[in-house]
Amino acid sequence: MGIVRHLQHWLGGKGSRLVVADFVPRDHPLRLWANAFPWVPMVEAVEEDLGTAAWAETARGRPGVSTRVLLALDLLKAELGCSDEQICHRLRTDFAVMYACGIEEVHADPRQSHFVLPEMLSQFRSRLSEELMPRLLQIQTTAALEAGLISPSHLVVDTFASEQGSQRVTDATTLYKAKKKS
């Protein structure tokens, strides 16, 4: 009877709300990914770019979707290699995606197939200006520097993949060895 009491939320649309964070392990990759973002300044930058809160309640009575959810879905879509439809479906069924979108509690309506429609995500993305992406990247970089997650020293990237320990000489390995000697 205990499990049914907890699942009645999904089965009949009644019962207490489920806390999303309780279902996502602390070391889950999407939880770690979501915790690394400075969401508040990023959402403020998006809302400033759009001119107002992104999606207020419509005249058709559909509840509004927060800018935080839409921004996270757009970023997750690229991160996970999903289509709009796939990421919206995962939002409905995957607690880790819900956590990454900042959804703290759920109480699903079984009559609704998606609570973020793929068309809404596409409209959101089309309204973003080209100047916004460098600004979001700057916000992320500043937050990562302040948290000590990245170093301000230059990063050398070797774009030619090779196995670790190979003897191939590249600019990156030469620079690394030179820094190590000095």
Confidence at 150, pLDDT banded by 50, 70, 90: confident
Residue type at position 105 = E
Domain for residue 167, yes or no?
Answer: no
pLDDT, residue 74, reads: 92
Domain for residue 168, yes or no?
Answer: no
Domain for residue 166, yes or no?
Answer: no
* 90 neighbors 116 (Cβ within 8 angstroms): no
Confidence at 5, pLDDT banded by 50, 70, 90: very low
Domain for residue 163, yes or no?
Answer: no
In terms of residue numbers, what domain contains 134?
A: 2-152
Considering the chain, what percentage of its residues have pLDDT values greater than 90?
22
- pLDDT tens digits along 10-20: 444 555 677 88
Confidence at 26, pLDDT banded by 50, 70, 90: very high
pLDDT, residue 39, reads: 93
- pLDDT tens digits along 30-59: 999 999 999 999 999 999 998 765 455 556
pLDDT over 50 at 91, yes or no: yes
**More confident position, 25 or 156:** 25
Q: Is residue 168 helix, strand or coil?
A: coil
Q: Provide mean pLDDT across the span 55-68.
A: 66
Domain for residue 60, yes or no?
Answer: yes
pLDDT, residue 38, reads: 93
Domain for residue 125, yes or no?
Answer: yes
Give this prediction's pTM: 0.66
Confidence at 1, pLDDT banded by 50, 70, 90: very low
Q: Which long-range contacts (CB under 8 A, 24 or more apart) does 118-121 make?
A: 118/83, 118/84, 118/85, 118/88, 119/84, 120/55, 120/65, 120/70, 121/70, 121/73, 121/74, 121/77, 121/84, 121/87, 121/88
pLDDT over 50 at 116, yes or no: yes
Total domains in the chain come to 1
Please, which residues have CB within 8 angstroms of residue 87's CB and are 6 or more apart in sequence? 73, 76, 77, 80, 97, 121
In order of 39, 68, 74, the CA distances from 90 in angstroms are: 20, 16, 13
